[in-house]
Amino acid sequence: MAKVRVAQIGVAHDHASGFMESVRRLADVFEVVGVAEPDEANKLKFGGNAVYGSLKWLTVEDILGDDSIDAVLVETDDWKLVPYGLACVQAGKHLHLDKPSGESVEQYETLMAVARQRNLVVQLGYMYRYNPAIMYAMEAVRSGKLGEIHEVNAVMNTYHSREKREWLAHFKGGIMHYLGCHMVDCLINIMGKPEEIISFCDKTHADGVDAVDRGFAVFRYKNGISTAEATSIERNGYARRQLVVIGSKGTIEIKPLENPTRIRETYIEDIDGNHYRDNSREVVVPELAGRYDTMMLDFAEMVRGNKENPFTYEYELLVHRACLKSCGFDVAL
């Protein structure tokens, strides 16, 4: 089968080098045509990464005007993602768009409308969708193994340097927009559209930084509440990144979310009085699959028309609105 010809716009996103490494490693599936970075400062700062070695540097116009390019990975600064993504779909390119998807509902709706009209794939860079433990939990939800789901707790904590926390001021929602969006995606994927989202984003002012470095959101459903949180100031917060799914028949806890990924599940039959069997185990990512490989292989299958995108345009728009609502934006769900 013909390789998917792909190019990348932008090298400044945190995931930029990871996705490029993946498509270059999957050389039997992808042919990388080249990379463009319209911001010279970003090219100077990030373009020297070895993953871009031997690649041809192109302009954005080169990429958009080349009809032989099937798809584009947009990995710019976060606030530039949607404008460049829109340009790609307007040029007829399938799109891998990293996240978060900007602070405008209208721009994002336009992007999705153009993609739908032209039957183009839009894959968002939510890599936890392809995390093996989270995929296992999703199957337990959809199969009914956990029973009726009435609560999800999703945590995406970390510790950032002062410089990175100052950088968060680019976003009104700060850390909740930048990383909390991952947890909003997980929560919506499990629970669907909430009746209400209440945002509790705030600033700790640690080190005198004036940015939202603590985020928490309550999602109200007809059968209970769920929560998503993210912080930029928790020492070893990475180890407490977790997803807990609570149902009428059992609970699944994934903690930490990766490196290593551990999963604990408890069901009705595991409980005896105040004791329960601790069904805990490590979930290992297959050796040949990097953090983004499964996602990129799925992208290739969608671009080739061999499968439908499991995440619809409507779903992506709901996640976008829910993310903004979690950050305190006055938007309708």
The structure tokens 């340097």 sit at 161
The Cα diameter of the chain in Å comes to 67
Same structural domain for residues 295 and 276? no
- Considering the domain boundaries, does residue 315 fall inside one? no
Same structural domain for residues 208 and 240? yes
Q: Which residues pair with 97 in a beta bridge?
A: 74, 124
pLDDT of res. 287: 55
Measured distance CA(41)–CA(302) in Å, rounded: 34
**For the segment 271-327, what is each residue's pLDDT rounded down to a tens digit?**
776 677 778 888 876 555 578 999 999 999 999 999 999 999 999 999 999 999 999
Same structural domain for residues 93 and 155? no
pLDDT of res. 304: 97
Same structural domain for residues 133 and 261? yes
The structure tokens 């970075």 sit at 37
pLDDT of res. 239: 93
Same structural domain for residues 105 and 214? no
Same structural domain for residues 273 and 301? no
- Considering the domain boundaries, does residue 46 fall inside one? yes
Q: Domain span at residue 174?
A: 128-285
Measured distance CA(320)–CA(312) in Å, rounded: 12
**For the segment 79-102, what is each residue's pLDDT rounded down to a tens digit?**
999 999 999 999 999 999 999 989
pLDDT of res. 272: 73
Q: Which residue has the higher pLDDT, 226 or 287?
A: 226
Same structural domain for residues 134 and 120? no
pLDDT of res. 190: 98
Same structural domain for residues 139 and 243? yes
Same structural domain for residues 156 and 109? no
CATH number of the domain that residue 220 is part of: 3.30.360.10
- Considering the domain boundaries, does residue 259 fall inside one? yes
Sign of CA dihedral 129, 134, 139, 140: negative
Residue type present at position 281: R
pLDDT of res. 278: 72
Same structural domain for residues 119 and 42? yes
Task: For residues 235-243, give the mean pLDDT.
Answer: 94
pLDDT of res. 133: 92
Cβ within 8 Å of residue 221, ≥6 positions away? 150, 191, 194, 195
Same structural domain for residues 197 and 265? yes
CATH number of the domain that residue 118 is part of: 3.40.50.720
pLDDT of res. 202: 96
**For the segment 111-161, what is each residue's pLDDT rounded down to a tens digit?**
999 999 999 999 999 999 999 999 999 999 999 999 999 999 999 999 999
Domain count, the chain: 2
- Considering the domain boundaries, does residue 321 fall inside one? no
- Weakest-pLDDT range from 72-81, 86-95, 217-226, 258-267: 258-267
Q: Could you count the other beta carbons within 10 Å of the beta carbon of residue 220?
A: 12
- Asked if 300 and 161 count as a contact pair (C-beta separation under 8 A), the reply is no
- Considering the domain boundaries, does residue 114 fall inside one? yes
Same structural domain for residues 215 and 262? yes
Task: For residues 255-278, give the mean pLDDT.
Answer: 83
- Considering the domain boundaries, does residue 150 fall inside one? yes
Measured distance CA(82)–CA(107) in Å, rounded: 7
- Considering the domain boundaries, does residue 19 fall inside one? yes
Cβ within 8 Å of residue 214, ≥6 positions away? 175, 201, 202, 203, 204, 231, 232, 233
**For the segment 155-201, what is each residue's pLDDT rounded down to a tens digit?**
999 999 999 999 999 999 999 999 999 999 999 999 999 999 999 99
Q: Kindly state the percentage of the chain with pLDDT values over 70.
A: 98
Question: Which DSSP string do the residues of 60-98 spell out, in sequence order?
Answer: HHHHHH-TT--EEEE-S-GGGHHHHHHHHHHTT-EEEE-
- Considering the domain boundaries, does residue 68 fall inside one? yes
